[in-house]
Amino acid sequence: MPKFEIKQRPFLTRPENFQGVPSFIAEILARRGVESEQELELKLKHLLAPTMKGLDAAIQLIDQAINQHKKIVIVGDYDADGATSTALMMLALRDMGADVDYLVPDRFKYGYGLTPAIADLAFANFTPDLLITVDNGISSHDGVKQAQDHGMQVIITDHHLTTKPTPMAEAVVNPNQLGCEFPSKALAGVGVAFYVLANLSSHRKKMGKSFAQMISYLDLVALGTYADVASLDYNNRILIDSGLKRIKQGLCRPGISALLDIAKRDPAGLKAQDLGFVIGPRINAAGRMETMDIGIECLLASDLATAYPLAEQLNQLNVERRQVEGKIKQEALTALDQIQLDKDAIPAALIMFEPHWHQGVIGIVAGRLKEQFHRPSIVFARDEDGIHIKGSARSIEGIHIRDAIERVAEQYPHIVSHFGGHAAAAGLTIQKEHFAEFKQVFEQLIASQDESLFTATLWTDGELPASAFQIETVDVLQNLSPWGQKFPAPVFEGVFKILDYRWLKDVHLKLRVALENGQVVEAIAFNAADKYQFDPMLNEIRLVYELDKNTFNGNTSLQMRIVHMHQ
């Protein structure tokens, strides 16, 4: 296990800003940078105004294409954000009377984004007049030119970071492009697509032309945003909360209902986290294991009868994905064991490659390694051509993985062929023969970072007052959700007296502990046998925990879900 320390989250705003709530709630909000009580009101009327660079040009072009019955093709991406963005464009543009089709590159054959080969494919399959990218395209200079050479106009809608000038498309909408003043840089690809379509729709409504009821597609926006691990700033929290409410009321795409049914989840009790951990992985499995068309068709399905077989297929692909991922992770851990990893000498970065590893799951494996060892991790798999290998990178707080790869690419242009991504996650392609050199150069670069970054931090919201240990507190906290990236669910810490303990199935530890006022609370640590040394002879324990409910035989009681424990 890597070195780590427990720290209290700093206040980003002032707890005094929040009157009329208990002080521990005011502190939770201040630790997440909430400015005012208005930010707890997640209403669509509070969404940021559409001030994005390129938005008006994009709307004019699409409006004109619909009016003139021109052929439009959407070029998507093969993850949940790309799938929801593609489905959103297809559904809303159809509502507006557009002649529209979509194309998602096969990740194993074409890689990511609007490449010249994808432009050729779009031309060969559809002969479009207008090509619109969703969740990709901001670095696709060659692909844009190729599409234009085929006689297409090109609109890029994307959210990925770029430090370079944008491609010469007819319109580019991306809050992260140079010179865009839009205040939120955290929109996912589906959020950008939503802004384009919502403003196009209201423009057409004013003109008395066919338009789309965009509110009815917020389920897709919520799913894509959460599954893409976008930062939950106020704007994204509004979008997610609005879409989640529709799913809970059953006002969602039949494909989402089918996926929830297969996962045995009651929509009424759905939480935002379930978008990321229940529905998202099943959609993502299509792009990882086969082709994202299955995921998109499931989201496009107009009734349950059509959606259900597709949802079952996605579920099966997700089972396969888990098996393949587990096997690769085990092989990676065995390989790490062989280099005698001890906790004081974990390499600065974990960089691994095996020719038989599956390209579709290396990103998840990199994420698991990053979590386990608290090191930037890059896992490579063989590319179709046999010459290149493709890597998926995941990083820790404080190390911007995309920028680190860019630095290697600039200093050693012969090593890195392509790359792109964000601070926490990125992808790259290198030649197989350069793997050892890349590994050495990248490890050196990361090793030169400030050493304190390699100590993991478990952030907490401090101690919870004894008066807050009640079931109502769980409901109060749930009402402040959605919790997620950069707006984490509250985690508390404290020292408790151990009254009783028992092991469940020899792996999970169930405790009964007492607070200072004598109140008795149950606590559970899942998979504790693998993680902690528990000494029943000691009568005190320090817990880091989330507050939860436990329902058993119809009775609901308060329970602490242990995140970390030590004596």
Strands (E) in 16-79, as ranges, are 71-75
237 backbone dihedrals φ, ψ, rounded to 5°: -65, -35
Contacts of 467 (CB under 8 A, 6+ apart): none
Fold classified for 50-317: inorganic pyrophosphatase (n-terminal core) (3.90.1640)
Distance (Å, rounded) from C-alpha 127 to C-alpha 72? 9
Q: What is the pLDDT of residue 4?
A: 80
- What spatial distance separates the first Cα and last Cα of the chain, rounded to whole Å? 17
Q: What's the pLDDT tens digit per position in 540-567?
A: 999 999 999 998 888 999 999 999 998 8
Q: What is the pLDDT of residue 113?
A: 86
Buried b (16+ CB within 10 A) or exposed e, 188-215: bbbbbbbbbbbbbbebbeeeeeebbebe
Distance (Å, rounded) from C-alpha 46 to C-alpha 57? 24
Q: What is the pLDDT of residue 343?
A: 56
Distance (Å, rounded) from C-alpha 86 to C-alpha 293? 10
Q: What is the pLDDT of residue 286?
A: 94
Architecture of the domain spanning 339-454: Roll (3.10)
Q: What are the average pLDDT values for consecutive 10-residue runs of the chain, which has 567 residues?
A: 86 94 95 94 97 98 98 95 98 98 87 91 97 96 97 97 90 96 97 98 97 98 96 97 97 98 96 96 93 96 98 97 94 80 76 93 93 94 90 95 94 90 88 95 94 92 96 95 95 96 94 94 93 89 95 91 92
- Strand, helix or coil at 228? coil
Q: What is the pLDDT of residue 102?
A: 97
Whole-prediction pTM value?
0.93
Q: What is the pLDDT of residue 110?
A: 81
CATH code of the domain made up of 459-566: 2.40.50.460
Looking at the DSSP bridge assignments, the partners of residue 513 are 498, 521
| Helix 80-95, helix 293-300: angle, nearest 10 | 40
Contacts of 309 (CB under 8 A, 6+ apart): none
- Report the relative pairing of strands 520-525 and 555-566 from DSSP bridges: parallel
Q: What is the pLDDT of residue 488?
A: 96
Q: Counting every residue, how long is the chain? A: 567
Q: What is the pLDDT of residue 342?
A: 57
Domain ranges of the chain: 50-317, 339-454, 459-566
Report whether 131 contacts 119 (CB < 8 A).
yes
- Burial of residue 514 (CB within 10 Å: 0-12, 13-18, 19+) is middle
Report whether 254 contacts 267 (CB < 8 A).
no
Distance (Å, rounded) from C-alpha 224 to C-alpha 80? 6
Distance (Å, rounded) from C-alpha 494 to C-alpha 544? 7
In sign, the C-alpha dihedral spanning 124, 129, 132, 138 is: positive
